[in-house]
Structure 1
Amino acid sequence: MVKNEMYPEQMFYDNEKVERIIKTVNKRFTTYGYKRIKTPAFEQYDLYSNVKSSINQNEMIKVIDYTGQVLVLRPDMTIPITKELAENYPELANELRYFYVQEVFRQPVDRNDNIESTQAGVEYFCQSSPEADAEVIALACHTMKDLGFMDIKIEIGHAAFFNELVQDLPLTAQQIKQLKTLIQAKNVVEIGPFLQRLDIDAEVRDAIERIPLLYGNPVEVCERARGIALTTKMQDTLDYVMDVYRILNMYGLGQYIVSDLGLINHMGYYSDVIFQGYVEKFGKPVLMGGRYDRLGDEFGATLPAIGFACEIESLVKATENREVTGRFPIDVNIIYEDTQLEQAIAIANELRERNYSVLSFPRHKEQVNRQQSVYTIQLENENNRLDYKEKTIPFFDLNEVLDLLVGVKGATS
């Protein structure tokens, strides 16, 4: 594998950016009530080889342990999380929200790509509803906004629309796979000749040919799609997608949403809503997700869920020419005179106990150590103050500055 040569300064800069992105992502996930979960780096090969609609087995990194058992380096997060929950929850009694930031390992198609990548994502185990699906898509959109992206586009499709159209057709698994590839690529030139060779009703063939064109404003796409929705289930699917879009408008995110009923994700366990996200000046999706209500069946459990994942390395590349803006990496900078060291330590300790991220340093080192932060505390003899945005608020002691932070935070939340 070819490795990228990088100067130490660039490596440090990229590593710092990775950590800042991960911290921002973690913060946003927790604001939606998600708890962090981890899975083992090595999994049994059978976990993936026996699961229908899993990832390409040729992409898996396989090893043999001392007993001769075949293991794989974790190629996916959703499958092992679902399996782990299935062992404890044969049926979903309560909604569960988990997030992860972990490495996944796959054999790359391009020799210059890395085997290892870092994925951050969420898994929301819940019954299917437009409210739940819209909430997860809103979380994905808010995460991109937190990272400072301005031109965000979330494409929403639905697996059932295509599946309902082709499920009774006399097609082999290979033909279905070819057709999905053509539709996903929006290859309208080859779809027609491909379908002409098959024994398919003309009305159905026409509907399939129009699927790649069902892209754009959700309301307009839905109106056009109703003309090829040949079954009640397809009409219901369109109603569902419009309900999701209506709720996303309530979040104030409607301007970021487009419909793509030709969106067919390669992860075959997605059963309903599918979505992927793009940001400015980056030519491939930075996040992908969808609902997978039947994956738990593979492990003898009923665990309907929806989730998404983003690749941290792609987010780093997408922010290559600028700093990550949005949420600051540090909550509080404390800048103190040498005589105020004890007070600076007391304030820093108390804020860290309250889960603030804090940098503390003497004034003569300010230029070297200071980072962007939400708040700045200035400690001077007889002149302590809290800086927030354009405001400067004086305070006397630790209790007073804590009250100020709570007040300012409450006023802006």
Structure 2
Amino acid sequence: MVRNEEYPEQMLSDNEKFERIIKSINKRFKTYGYKRIKTSAFEQYDLYSRVKSSINQNEMIKVIDHTGEVLVLRPDVTIPITRELVQNVPDLSSELRYFYVQEVFRQPFDKNDSVERTQAGIEYFCDSSPEADAEVIALACHLMKDLGFNDIKIELGHAGFFNELVQDLPLTLQQVNQLKSLIQAKNVVEIGPFLKKLEVDDEVREVIERIPFLYGNAIDVSERMKGIALTEKMRQTLDYLMDVYSILKMYGLEHYIVIDLGLINHMGYYSGVIFQGYVEKFGKPVLMGGRYDELGNEFGTALPAIGFACEIESLVKATESKDIISRFPIDVKIIYVADQLEQAIAIANELRERNFSVLLFSTNKEQADRRQSIYSICLEKESNSFLYKDKTTSFLDLKELLGLLVGGIDQK
């Protein structure tokens, strides 16, 4: 039998990275109890146009059906999932967990970007609590670790902090959006002059000007907040974020978390905790999410929830700076002599039913295949052998083989 170590390592193509990422995403989401859900590729235009603070209508890809009704190619997944639950799930009193992996379509502002993107995400329908919010952020961290990233940063903020600051200010919608852009960019040079042109109380202006500096380690940010004039609601928001952070410490993830009170997500339905994730040497977020407790009200039912989404294409690009090696593209290789084909097929069928990926090779063809496997099985005329790492073990039948595989899995 040829040992696995003799095979050269193989660099993954983008397509292989894409599939590998999706496989990891599916597995990780399921470990947190999420079930997969799908929504229609075509939705009524009114679904998105009537939801307050929804996505930019200029980004929607519009089509007209045979009846003359305007439809849009799915630009977002959270909104149709929420609508579907309100319409079709009779009991919304219990917590619900769903995940999706499907395409979204938006008109890009950059001509080099694609109209179609594959998005994966989760929607956790539950009451607001630090425990639930921390669990979702922990899931995001664990997913990034599953994908091989080590330098992970989750920026954690709260939509209510900025909203509370500006809700009583005499600002137009355009001015609010300008201020959001300046804060998001941490443009400390222009925030002050911009506010001086407006009728903003000096105390409030001072708080707004300091927002870009309220970024960093949770303890440091909490210290910087001292002496700043805050409303009771803003204090509660900060306390809530600290509670979420404390629970993330229990997960052992505190070194991945950065508090950013200037974080503003442009999906306007977010109302509570918001967050975005970065990985090494990639200049934009690879995932974004937050709590949206009021979106269900758009469809007539209270349906608090939190979720996040990531674009698979961005994750593929993020791996370009990493030497992603495919050491084991398959689980099991079965190498057989000619008169053992029937036994090889029987074993392959059984292993595939148990979710192993399996390839079959006759002995004369096996030498031409350079792919590696975690396990190798050799079926010869008078003996069968199982190879895992450096150890070769004989086996008599399928029962013994399965025992060896279970032992190998336990040692991985």
Q: TM-score, normalised by structure 2?
A: 0.90
Question: Map of 1:14-413 to 2, 5 A cutoff?
Answer: 14-89=14-89, 92-228=92-228, 230-322=230-322, 324=324, 329-366=329-366, 368-369=368-369, 371-380=371-380, 381-387=382-388, 389=389, 392-410=392-410
Segment drifting more, 90-99 vs 35-44: 90-99
CA RMSD of aligned residues (A): 2.3
Deviates more, 1:268-277 or 1:240-249: 240-249
Do the aligned residues in 2 keep the contact of 1:271 with 1:293 (CA within 8 Å)? yes
| Equivalent residue letter for 1:28 | R
Q: Are residues 319 and 283 of structure 1, via their aligned partners in 2, closer, same or farther at CA, if it must alter by over 3 Å?
A: same
Conserved 8 A contact 1:147-1:324: no
Q: Which structure 1 residue ranges, 5 or more long, are not aligned? A: 1-11
Name the SS of the counterpart of 1:404 in structure 2: helix
**Structure 2 residue identity aligned to 1:382:** S
More deviation, 321-330/95-104 = 321-330
Work out whether residues 327 and 372 of structure 2, in 8 Å CA contact, stay in contact via their aligned partners in 1. Answer: no
Structure 2, unaligned runs of 5 or more: 1-11
User: What amino acid does structure 2 have at the position aligned with 1:405?
Assistant: L
Shift of 1:274: 0.7
Q: Which amino acid aligns with 2:122?
A: V
**2 CA distance for matches of 1:45 and 1:56?**
12
Structure of higher CA gyration radius: 2
Normalising by the residue count of structure 1, what TM-score does the alignment of the two structures yield?
0.90
Q: Distance in 2 between matches of 1:305 and 1:296?
A: 9
Q: Cα gap change, 1:270/1:346 in structure 2, threshold over 3 Å: closer, same or farther? A: same
Checking the alignment, whether the CA contact within 8 Å between 1:164 and 1:233 is kept in structure 2 is yes
CA 1:166–1:410 in structure 2 vs 1: closer, same or farther (change >3 Å)? same
**Paired residue type of 1:93:** S
Alpha-carbon distance between aligned partners in 1 of 2:98 and 2:273, rounded to the nearest angstrom: 19
- Give a deviation string over 1:342-383, Cα, whole Å, max 9, x none: 332222211221223333333444455454554444445524
Cα contact 2:97–2:123 (8 A) shared by 1: yes
Quickly say closer, same or farther: Cα 1:374–1:273, change in 2 above 3 A. Answer: farther
Whether the 8 Å contact between 2:152 and 2:280 is mirrored in structure 1 is yes
Distance in 2 separating the partners of 1:368 and 1:329:
16
Paired AA for residue 192 in structure 2: G
Query: CA, structure 1 residues 41+175, in 2 after alignment: closer, same or farther (shift >3 Å)?
Result: same
**Corresponding residue SS for 2:356:** coil
How many residue pairs align between the two structures? 400
Q: Secondary structure at the match of 1:278?
A: strand
